[in-house]
Amino acid sequence: MQLNLPFPDFLHAVGGKLIGDFDNCVIQSVHYDSRKIIDGQHVAFFALKGDFRDGHHFIENAFDKGVRVFVVEHFDNNFPKDANYIVVEDVLIALQKLASFHRNKFSFPVLAITGTAGKTSVKEWISHLLPSDVRVIRSPKSFNSQLGVALSLLELHQHCDLAIIEAAITEPGEMERLVEMIQPTYGVLTNVLSASRSRFETIEAKNEAYWVLFKEAKLVFKGENCPTTPSQYAAIPQRNWTPNDEWESLIPFPDRVSSENARTAILAVSNLFTLDEQKISSLPRLALRLETFDGIQNSIIINDTYSLDLEALRSSLEYHKIIAGERKRVVIVGLSENASALKSDVENLVKTFKPSEMLVEVDPDWTKLNIQDAVVLVKGSRLSHMERVAHQLRLKKHTTELHFDWSALRNNIGFFKSQIPATTKMLAMVKAQAYGTGLENMAKQLERFGVDYLGVAYPDEGAELRQAGIQLPILVMNAAPSGFDVCMKYHLIPAVYSFGQLDELLRFLIGEQVENFPIHIKVDTGMKRLGFEEKEIPALIAQIQAQPEISVQGLYSHLATSDLKENPFAKEQIERFQHIKSVMETSLSKKLVCHLANSEAIVNYPEAAFDMVRLGIGMYGVSNLFESQLLPVLRWTSRVSQVRTLEKGESVGYGQHFVADKPTRIATIPVGYADGFRRSLSRGEGGVFIQGVFCPTVGNVCMDMSMVEIGELKVQEGDEVEIIGEHQTLVSLAQAMETIPYEVLTGISKRVHRSYTEEA
Question: Which of the residues are catalytic?
Answer: 431, 654
Tell me the three state secondary structure of residue 287: coil
**What is the H or E stretch that residue 541 is in?**
helix 537-546
212 backbone dihedrals φ, ψ, rounded to 5°? -55, -35
C-alpha–C-alpha distance, residues 643 and 123, integer Å: 44
Q: Please choose, from the candidates 240, 239, 187, the residue with its C-alpha nearest in 3D space to the C-alpha of residue 213.
A: 187
HEC string for 363-378: CCCHHHCCCCCEEEEE
C-alpha–C-alpha distance, residues 315 and 260, integer Å: 14
**In this structure, are strands 474-476 and 642-646 parallel, antiparallel, or unpaired?**
unpaired
DSSP string, 658-722: EE-SS-EEEEEES--TTTT--GGGTTTTSEEEETTEEEEB-S---SS-EEEE-TT----TT-EEE
Burial 61-99 (b: 16+ CB within 10 A, else e): bbbebebbbbbbbeeeeebeeebbbbbbeebbebbbbbb
C-alpha–C-alpha distance, residues 112 and 182, integer Å: 7
**What is the H or E stretch that residue 138 is in?**
strand 136-138
C-alpha–C-alpha distance, residues 192 and 501, integer Å: 63
DSSP one-letter code for 749: -
C-alpha–C-alpha distance, residues 224 and 202, integer Å: 19
Q: Counting Cβ atoms within 10 Å, is residue 159 exposed (0-12), middle (13-18) or buried (19+)?
A: exposed
